[in-house]
Chains A and B, each alone.
Chain A
């Protein structure tokens, strides 16, 4: 029971990170109907920026008060990663707007390769470790088994991650449902041509979507750095694939679906690792995706596709 609870907490933490990345996929998919394969690498970029900024603040400028440092790192990495998201869209996707659907998919894969190799060349291929910055936590429960005592711990780090995710999710839901920007976004999702006829600047709305997705990916990147303490240029691929899986599982195009899918994928991975085998956790996640899609071809919360004859 205690073991189960501990795994649940770990799974939710990991799931939050996946969910934040998945939102980027799902928003982009919702608005222009393409898989932004480079989004996982934008997350990786965010992680690198967060790491570098953290080092600048702590070693070069000598800041020591952690909350302020983390806040500045968060803001800076969101801003700079957004610039990357914007540029990727501008260079690789906007010229293909209204073109055939496979073309932006290929440029997205191309962009993903470019970003990975750019970071590999400029920052080196070796992993970058960062010692854990936020230590400690609260012990929720104590149980004993024949092997000794098991503690159910919720670390401060996990609290921060889950709390931030909830705040960001709430904020984004409000943004999409209440603001003119959100309205413009939903209008573009429904019918881009009509939206532009009604005076919505479609290009800017799409750009902003990429910017928002990238900002969320940056948050996820920072959390990843803090939680795992190790990054390299390749983390974007797997995280991206998992997050995309999460987005599809939840029903691509749906924000709550992305979050739900992220949490599910995180839980599946953690529980599979905890109870069965670490090696096959990816297989478990992907298999469950396949199984869910066989029965619900549009994901858990996706709009079922009506076959118009």
Chain B
């Protein structure tokens, strides 16, 4: 245990959590009725690491916790807890096949948490947890709280109460040992002076610490903390950081924590997993996650997307807009002037790029490569490898990170990804995809080439380098698309409602991943909206846009093609 490698991701090394995971969550799905709280989530928690699970409110973090600690039974997926070093893949396979809940060996053991009831997860698999809204035994003293946590060993020592009732000395010894252990943790959490006070009497910060002390008293190998810093003042928060580091370093306990306080997360985490809408959007060391555009998008939220300042995407957009501008028909040009920022950016880009039309693809390829190099550990492949075995997947992922070109060869990569990521010249990409009945005379592969298209699951939708005659539609009339997203879509060659209306599932996945908000397109029903708008109809939202009621959309610009009626309502703007 002491030998557990403290190997952190440096450069291209395989990260600790993939080599020596104490906990593996594999393809975890949790549905509540129709609601998918967590969808096909996979991540590892490294032994001896502090792993942070972050994400916006409602991202499904606590649901993951409840699945790990047995309070919910996951709908699908496997959760493996390992005692002892290494991946122990053979043992995991053996236990999974055997139908047993766990198997212990001399130097460790493998526990399938999704098969175990909650109290066994704590008792046998040694996973301890705390709660978002503190759950102490308020009417019992701090000391008693810590003694309750040592229930199982004390129960054995008391001869399942019989020996205890008769007052055998064996139990007395065990009890005083238990009190010593409790006092140790009370000292560690600066609570020893309050040992005989009822827990409900303690101030908030002390209650949080007591809950951690109580969890530590079960002697866990993995400590799950649900927002431990919530409601703490900065000083208490700093103390908490020290305590967690102490727990990790001195007791070799791995820590998995949910936290909103980024100060805490960034300071102490060895590994950060980011969830949004129940899907993993980023996974890696804290520094890498911090700069991941998807994380930024998820955190800044949907409506503020215009504010997103992601240099790579901005550059992509600028290039494409500039290219389009160069060839734009006069009618379109006047419309584009209304969108000042875009036009400005476009002009600025055009200045440097000159007649960049031909170079667009290459430029983007370059951008894409720098992007993936910048965030080497970013795994966007969570959805792409549903069939892959965990080990293979992990391997493939680490390989993919260092050498994007080799990805197509990896057996774990799904064929869909392979097809989508193919280089411009690859014939596979040129093959027309089946099932596109709605798209009018649409060629198969997109005219826009995105270099790292293969990083995203699904299939890149068809795009044209420029809008059809008459200019593009005002895509901001679709709820969920603001000016920034419109620009990004334009950069992909998406100009018209009917293009969006024709997206297939694979294409939606791809665009969702590309725009850094997987799942949002389905949730906001872009395709459905686009179908209505493409017919020239109106949605509730588009009416509001036309009235100028939606600050994140561009009113008064109804765009060209499908509008049957004159823009009478748009006159207000």
Q: Look across to chain A and name the residue whose beta carbon is closest to the beta carbon of B32.
A: A306
Q: Look across to chain B and name the residue whose beta carbon is closest to the beta carbon of A309.
A: B71
Complex Cα distance, B131 from A12, in Å, reads 49
- In chain B, positions 37-86 with a C-beta closer than 8 Å to chain A are 62, 66, 71-72
Complex Cα distance, B71 from A309, in Å, reads 8
- In chain B, positions 72-113 with a C-beta closer than 8 Å to chain A are 72
Complex Cα distance, B132 from A309, in Å, reads 8
B71: chain A residues at CB < 8 Å are: 307, 309
Top 6 closest A-B pairs, CB basis?
A: A309-B71, A309-B66, A309-B131, A307-B71, A309-B62, A309-B72
Minimum C-beta distance from B78 to chain A (A):
21
Q: Which residues of B contact A (CB under 8 A)?
A: 62, 66, 71-72, 131
6 residue pairs of the A-B complex, CB under 8 angstroms, read A307-B71, A309-B62, A309-B66, A309-B71, A309-B72, A309-B131
Complex Cα distance, B72 from A307, in Å, reads 10
A309: chain B residues at CB < 8 Å are: 62, 66, 71-72, 131
A307: chain B residues at CB < 8 Å are: 71
Complex Cα distance, B62 from A307, in Å, reads 13
Minimum C-beta distance from A100 to chain B (A):
12
B interface footprint on A293-309 (CB within 8 Å = 1, 0 otherwise): 00000000000000101
B72: chain A residues at CB < 8 Å are: 309
Q: Look across to chain A and name the residue whose beta carbon is closest to the beta carbon of B62.
A: A309
Complex Cα distance, B131 from A307, in Å, reads 13
Complex Cα distance, B70 from A307, in Å, reads 13
Minimum C-beta distance from A129 to chain B (A):
54
Complex Cα distance, B66 from A309, in Å, reads 8
Q: Look across to chain A and name the residue whose beta carbon is closest to the beta carbon of B132.
A: A309
- In chain A, positions 157-174 with a C-beta closer than 8 Å to chain B are none
Minimum C-beta distance from B57 to chain A (A):
16
- In chain A, positions 59-118 with a C-beta closer than 8 Å to chain B are none
Complex Cα distance, B281 from A61, in Å, reads 84
Q: Look across to chain A and name the residue whose beta carbon is closest to the beta carbon of B63.
A: A309
Complex Cα distance, B252 from A248, in Å, reads 50
B131: chain A residues at CB < 8 Å are: 309
Q: Look across to chain B and name the residue whose beta carbon is closest to the beta carbon of A307.
A: B71
B66: chain A residues at CB < 8 Å are: 309
Minimum C-beta distance from A101 to chain B (A):
15
Complex Cα distance, B62 from A170, in Å, reads 43
Minimum C-beta distance from B45 to chain A (A):
20
Complex Cα distance, B131 from A309, in Å, reads 7
Complex Cα distance, B73 from A307, in Å, reads 13
Minimum C-beta distance from A150 to chain B (A):
49
Q: Look across to chain B and name the residue whose beta carbon is closest to the beta carbon of A306.
A: B32
Minimum C-beta distance from B132 to chain A (A):
8
Minimum C-beta distance from A309 to chain B (A):
5
Complex Cα distance, B66 from A308, in Å, reads 10
- In chain A, positions 260-309 with a C-beta closer than 8 Å to chain B are 307, 309
Complex Cα distance, B72 from A309, in Å, reads 9
Complex Cα distance, B282 from A86, in Å, reads 61
B interface footprint on A212-234 (CB within 8 Å = 1, 0 otherwise): 00000000000000000000000
Complex Cα distance, B129 from A309, in Å, reads 11
Complex Cα distance, B50 from A142, in Å, reads 81
Minimum C-beta distance from A306 to chain B (A):
9
Minimum C-beta distance from A235 to chain B (A):
41
Complex Cα distance, B70 from A309, in Å, reads 11
Complex Cα distance, B71 from A307, in Å, reads 9
Minimum C-beta distance from A11 to chain B (A):
35
Minimum C-beta distance from B138 to chain A (A):
14
Minimum C-beta distance from B227 to chain A (A):
13
Minimum C-beta distance from A305 to chain B (A):
14
B62: chain A residues at CB < 8 Å are: 309
Q: Look across to chain B and name the residue whose beta carbon is closest to the beta carbon of A308.
A: B133
Minimum C-beta distance from A111 to chain B (A):
29
Complex Cα distance, B72 from A219, in Å, reads 46
Complex Cα distance, B131 from A7, in Å, reads 54
Q: Look across to chain A and name the residue whose beta carbon is closest to the beta carbon of B131.
A: A309
Minimum C-beta distance from A81 to chain B (A):
41
Minimum C-beta distance from B116 to chain A (A):
16
Complex Cα distance, B134 from A309, in Å, reads 10
Complex Cα distance, B275 from A14, in Å, reads 57
Minimum C-beta distance from A243 to chain B (A):
33
Minimum C-beta distance from A177 to chain B (A):
25
Minimum C-beta distance from A6 to chain B (A):
43
Minimum C-beta distance from A308 to chain B (A):
9
Minimum C-beta distance from A52 to chain B (A):
50
